[in-house]
């Protein structure tokens, strides 16, 4: 029964391009027509049922666990073919129904009080520091880079991202800056070294905090940069500037008002905040169950309507909004290439299953930015309309 249902599911989805499938029973079939041609083999007898019941989870786990193999290990080809068909409208009603149910239930998975938020952060960001060194740039920027040219290196594009954000913050020497979700300290160090800011960075990751503090010590900037291992909600200070890069995705919809209330209260009357986050350019949705279980528990990519409604309710004014459409696809491609180049070291740190999981995460994410409804939003916020210039000329470097 499950084999027949699985075959029908595949035939319903794959129209553009060809998928050859070999089932655990030995039965073979072909769905779709034309190029590209991808061949997969299912060796785990439970996979047809698991993919029918939950396609996102079943496919991801099947590849991770080795129960689904692809000819030539062409994971990019398989995901690209499947996602293109789904985004071209060749989805199935059961998958659409599951997405609707996940949207209804999402507040439960996105409840992130302080203790749970710390555990969710540890799940991803407290992995081996050496792992992140394999695929990130030298500054360990784990967020979207800013490509001015296809020829930009990852290091160039990440430096350009930081410079672009700094211009939006309109920094002056001595300004006090809060970096919410400071990662490995790259943004904090740049703002202190290059712009003379006094920076307080907060993170819930013990690995990131230790790494960032070591970098600050090596740079001799202990008097200008402080890294605190604490939840941003525990702060009781005000700042001239607030920046948050790649952290809002971990807040969770039930906490949006709380987040922007804290930004409102901590931002001084003439201050400027810059929130950089992945966003969906479509109505509110739900997180892939595979991503939520294995990569970013508690995470969610916001629709602009959800984000804007929350900061509006908290009395913050939008002074600038920028949408980066394809920059993250380029960033993820660089990360995946670097990860593959160092995969033997990643395998030594963890195992084959982890490496397959990480490749699946990086490639699926890249394709979602390339073909799907995900971009990056940069929202500049303030209390006052005149907190920033009335033209965008200040964003153009001299």
d(CA 53, CA 57): 9
d(CA 139, CA 149): 20
Q: What is the pLDDT of residue 113?
A: 72
Q: What is the pLDDT of residue 9?
A: 92
d(CA 100, CA 284): 11
* CA distances to 28, 67, 396 from 393, in Å: 61, 55, 6
What domains lie within the chain, and their CATH numbers?
Answer: 2-91 (3.30.1050), 109-395 (3.40.50.150)
d(CA 201, CA 215): 13
The total of other beta-carbon atoms located within 10 Å of residue 25's CB is 10
Residue 301: which of 125, 86, 106 has the closest Cα?
106
Max Cα separation, the chain? Answer: 70
User: For residue 180, what are the β-bridge partners?
Assistant: 202
Strands (E), the chain: 16-22, 28-42, 68-70, 176-180, 198-203, 225-229, 239-245, 267-280, 317-324, 374-382
Q: What is the pLDDT of residue 109?
A: 65
Q: pTM of the predicted model, to two decimals?
A: 0.92
d(CA 295, CA 60): 11
- Average pLDDT of adjacent 10-residue blocks, the chain of 398 residues: 91 94 96 94 96 93 97 97 85 61 62 71 79 96 97 98 98 98 97 97 95 97 97 96 97 94 98 98 91 91 96 98 98 98 96 97 96 95 96 86
d(CA 141, CA 162): 9
d(CA 208, CA 122): 10
The total of other beta-carbon atoms located within 10 Å of residue 366's CB is 22
CA-based torsion, 387, 392, 396, 398: positive or negative: negative
Residue 83: which of 34, 17, 161 has the closest Cα?
17
Phi, psi of 45 (to 5 degrees): -60, -20
Residue 282: which of 371, 151, 362, 212 has the closest Cα?
371
Q: What is the pLDDT of residue 205?
A: 93
d(CA 288, CA 54): 10
Residue 245 in contact with residue 162, Cβ under 8 Å? no
């Amino acid at each position: 029964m499950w084999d027949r249902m699985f075959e029908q599911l595949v035939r319903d989805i794959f129209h553009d391009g060809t998928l050859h499938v070999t089932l655990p029973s030995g039965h073979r079939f072909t769905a779709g027509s034309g190029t590209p041609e991808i061949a997969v083999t299912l060796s785990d007898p439970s996979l047809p049922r698991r993919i029918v019941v939950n396609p996102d989870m079943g496919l991801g786990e099947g590849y991770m666990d080795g129960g689904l193999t692809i000819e030539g290990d062409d994971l990019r080809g398989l995901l690209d073919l499947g996602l293109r068909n789904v985004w071209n409208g060749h989805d199935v009603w059961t998958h659409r129904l599951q997405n609707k149910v996940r949207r209804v239930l999402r507040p439960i998975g996105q409840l992130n009080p302080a203790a749970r938020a710390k555990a969710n952060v540890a799940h991803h960001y407290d992995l081996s520091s050496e792992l992140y060194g394999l695929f990130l740039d030298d500054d360990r920027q784990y967020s979207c880079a800013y490509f001015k040219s296809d020829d930009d290196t990852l290091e160039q594009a990440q430096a350009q991202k930081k410079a672009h954000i700094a211009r939006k913050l309109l920094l002056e020497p001595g300004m006090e800056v809060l970096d919410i979700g400071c990662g490995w300290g790259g943004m904090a160090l740049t703002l202190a070294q290059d712009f003379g800011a006094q920076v307080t960075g907060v993170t819930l990751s013990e690995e990131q905090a230790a790494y960032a503090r070591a970098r600050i010590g090596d740079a001799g900037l202990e008097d200008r940069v402080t890294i605190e291992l604490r939840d941003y909600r525990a702060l009781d200070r005000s700042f001239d500037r607030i920046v948050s890069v790649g952290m809002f995705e971990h807040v969770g919809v039930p906490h949006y008002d709380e987040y922007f209330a804290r930004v409102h209260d901590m931002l001084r009357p003439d201050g400027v905040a810059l929130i950089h986050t992945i966003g969906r350019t479509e109505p509110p949705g739900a997180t892939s169950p595979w991503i939520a279980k294995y990569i970013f528990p508690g995470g969610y990519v916001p629709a602009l309507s959800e984000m804007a409604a929350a900061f509006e309710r908290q009395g913050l004014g939008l002074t600038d909004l920028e949408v980066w459409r394809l920059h993250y696809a380029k960033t993820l491609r660089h990360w995946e290439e670097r990860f593959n180049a160092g995969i033997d070291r990643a395998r030594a740190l963890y195992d084959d299953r982890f490496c397959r999981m990480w490749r699946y995460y990086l490639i699926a994410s890249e394709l979602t930015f390339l073909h799907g409804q995900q971009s990056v939003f940069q929202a500049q916020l303030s209390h006052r309309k005149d907190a920033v210039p009335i033209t965008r000329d200040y964003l153009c470097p001299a």
